[in-house]
Amino acid sequence: MSAITFSNSPSELPARIALLGCGNVGAAVARRILATSDRLHARLVGVLVRDVKKDRGVPSDIVFDRFEDVLDTRPDVVIEVLGGIDPALRHVSSALESGFPVVTANKTLIARHARELDAAAARGGTHLAYEAAVCAAIPVFAALRHLEGDRVKRVRGIVNGSCNFILTRMQSGASFEQALEEAKILGLVEPDPSADISGRDSAEKLCLLARSCGFQRATVDQIHVTGISAITSDDIRQASRTGHVIKLIAEFDAAAYAENPASGLRVGPTLLPRNHPLAQVNNEENALTIETELAGELFLKGKGAGPNPTASAVLGDVVRVLSGASRAPSFAAAQSETAGRQAGAGGEQTIHETRRRYHLRVSGNALTPDGVLNELKRHDIGASEIVLGRDHARVDTHAAPDEGVRACADALGVGLGSRTLLMPYA
């Protein structure tokens, strides 16, 4: 198979690429374009940086510290890898309104400002592509576009490689602090790792996945988020004792979301059986399961983080943009936000209630066995196993509604001044 090129004819001028940001990901993108410019039939014409004096391995005559100078190069595509909101939002909005197509890897930007960016693209008669924003090299949105004739019922996966690396190392005996420090040394987390370990990064990515399944009103604020900072080595050992592995899972349930957005979106530690496909995803790998009505369950796995995998996804979007084959991942025509409310041909409405087993760990000086038992009874939660100590408790519940178990955990945490960790069984 011949290589895909940006141009249909060798006689045409090479495509002009502008790059906003030249950090780890931006530098990987720049290196690839510079090294394969003939094969890709493209050239880098402008790179936006903060400090033009710093050597980034690109020709100094195309490095600028003013956004306007970059746009003056009249690029065919603008790549944004600045990260964050400011100045990315201003620059991407301006580029789109000026008619320049934009490719971005910025999940925070898309999760929180997609509507205004879509409007800017419409005003400029162009479009925005963001395959690299979720799971890097794994073609998640491409897979969802391929399934548009089907209906997605559920998406579940590991979408943060940094947290997965930490949990993998903890399975091997490292403490949370040791695993986090190792992740920092390897460059898998930022100096401030809060976005990763709090679950916020995963929540932003989950928001994009829900929207790509047609639920355009999904927002980050609707997602119930729990990070991994409360997980201890003892939690890992207890999970192993019962044949489980702890993973940070992002999940979207279409039917539950249609009934109640708060119950259809979740990010948090989850207990997976050792033989579950997601339990076998280790280190900084990402993976997703997509469950549909017709195709059944699909499993996608690959490198979901790092400069090179992200650069691969970015350049894939660039190729599609320049060939005219790109469009924003959207299920709007195929998926309804009332999916799951209709039951059968009669159209009778049903209530979708998610019930599952949970593991609840509670600790605190004010905790008493009676206090734990009373809260379980008050919230009508049965248990298959309860281990009670003077200042700690572990409870494995029977299948129960998500909201009821969360309310019980909150009552134990707030009412008794305790520390809680709540994890569902997959």
Q: What is the CA radius of gyration of the chain?
A: 23
Among 107, 205, 301, 303, which one carries the catalytic annotation?
Answer: 205
Which of 30, 57, 54, 53 lies closest to 43 in space, CA to CA?
A: 30
Q: CB of 425 within 8 A of CB of 244? A: yes
Phi-psi category of residue 173: left, alpha or beta, with phi > 0 → left and psi -120 to 50 → alpha: left
CA torsion sign for 107, 109, 113, 118 is negative
Sheet of strand 244-253: strand arrangement: 224-225, 265-273, 244-253, 152-158, 285-292, 296-303
CA–CA distances in Å: residue 326 to residues 91, 260, 318, 370 = 21, 32, 9, 60
C-alpha 246/C-alpha 402 separation (Å) is 18
Tokens standing for 170?
């903890």
**Phi, psi dihedral angles at 396 (to 5 degrees):** -105, 115
CA torsion sign for 264, 266, 271, 274 is positive
Q: Decide if 377 is catalytic.
A: no
How many Cβ atoms from other residues are within 10 Å of residue 134's Cβ?
29
Which of 340, 422, 337 lies closest to 376 in space, CA to CA?
A: 422
How many Cβ atoms from other residues are within 10 Å of residue 262's Cβ?
16
In the 8-state DSSP scheme, what is residue 4?
P
In the 8-state DSSP scheme, what is residue 46?
E
C-alpha 175/C-alpha 181 separation (Å) is 10
Judge residue 397's burial from the number of C-beta atoms within 10 Å of its C-beta, 0-12 exposed, 13-18 middle, 19 or more buried. buried
Active-site annotation, residues: 205
